[in-house]
Chain A
């Protein structure tokens, strides 16, 4: 499974955005200083984040080759839900409340 951009790559993207698009629009010295501090904080996150592990292609290749198992669907749903719990927890919550309404 893969999970890119990694946390470090996301921090880089935000830092670059602040530098390229926000900083040039700021005239207020206090805001400029605070934005530079925020950028520095993000660069700490970038350096501290662990390097991503090797991607595991086994399941993707097996399914692509047409070897689909009965347990795949449930397993994949759990795996995607785990990623969503980090990337978009509110989205996942919408399914849970819909399921409760169905009952």
Chain B
């Protein structure tokens, strides 16, 4: 951490910074684990230098989402203070939560009941009153996905096929709810007792609850444990049953499969747009570049699911 940022942070928090360590952050935001001289330990979220991701929340909005989620009883790091401009970039501080967030490690020995806890967290998220977060994007699902795919500016007939297949099958008549937008292993901080916190709220938006429910089923989020459909940790039955118990909402299995196909379309499109960030020079990074090629994994999966559904 450079001296200017350190000084700005000291002034904002009223205590000298004793130690700062940069963590692997999201696509366009930095994350720092901060120890203050007064003993407090915090996590600093700060805008990155690059161009913001399409449709992601600003840090002000992300902070407000954390406040609303916490008030609704969702397990989230305590939002501590929105700092505004910190040495040239928007920032906030929140509680530093500890545990394991790496999906590939969690699937090796998932804590008992993690599947049910995931259902409980989703039920709590979907109960957040949308009017408390008026800035959340609530546009048409298809408009959103086609706009993102168009921004890639490359032909992807397999994704077009998947979108057309889903569009024909999803009526979208259900009341929409506050949706996390990236609820899956990898964005959950977990310890031996289960979920410590739900992280990464930058894609929160208003949508059909089934979108969030099917997202952790997507094969990429099973981290190689393909046979366990829910995030590589469990079968989906108890997870959906618990969610239905809490919300009264029971989504038919064949509709969920359509949402799972759609999840694969979404992740394929997002992978392509991430690769565009590299190719266009917005953020030069091998990890982003390779996603352009790995999108074919999601394309294959969505075609395979459609073929088996026939």
Contact = CB atoms under 8 A, between A and B. Distances in A.
- Asked whether A and B interact, the reply is yes
- B contact residues, range: 20 to 34
B282 to A, nearest CB: 14
A20 B278 CA distance: 15
A68 B164 contact: yes
- A contact residues, range: 35 or more
A31 interface: no
Q: Is the interface of A mostly helix, strand, loop or mixed?
A: helix
Q: Is the interface of B mostly helix, strand, loop or mixed?
A: helix
B24 interface: no
Given A5-B279, A10-B289, A77-B307, A88 B160 contact: no
B232 interface: no
Contact of B158 (A13, A79, A94, A95): A79
A72 B161 contact: yes
Given A5-B279, A94-B226, A80 B164 contact: no
Contact of A88 (B154, B156, B158, B294): B294
A88 B293 contact: yes
A3 B158 CA distance: 13
A2 B154 contact: yes
A83 to B, nearest CB: 5
A73 B157 contact: no
Given A60-B160, A64-B164, A80 B303 contact: yes
B273 to A, nearest CB: 12
Nearest to A91: B297
A5 B306 contact: no
B299 interface: yes
B284 interface: yes
A51 to B, nearest CB: 15
Interface string A59-84: 11101101010001100110111011
A33 interface: no
A74 to B, nearest CB: 8
Most A Cβ at <10 Å: residue of B158, B226, B304: B158
Interface of B: 154-158, 160-161, 164, 226, 275, 278-279, 284-286, 289-290, 292-294, 296-297, 299-300, 303-304, 306-307
The 7 residue pairs across chains A and B that have the minimum distance between CB atoms? A60-B155, A87-B293, A2-B154, A59-B157, A63-B160, A13-B289, A60-B157
6 contacts: A2-B156, A3-B293, A4-B292, A5-B278, A13-B278, A56-B155
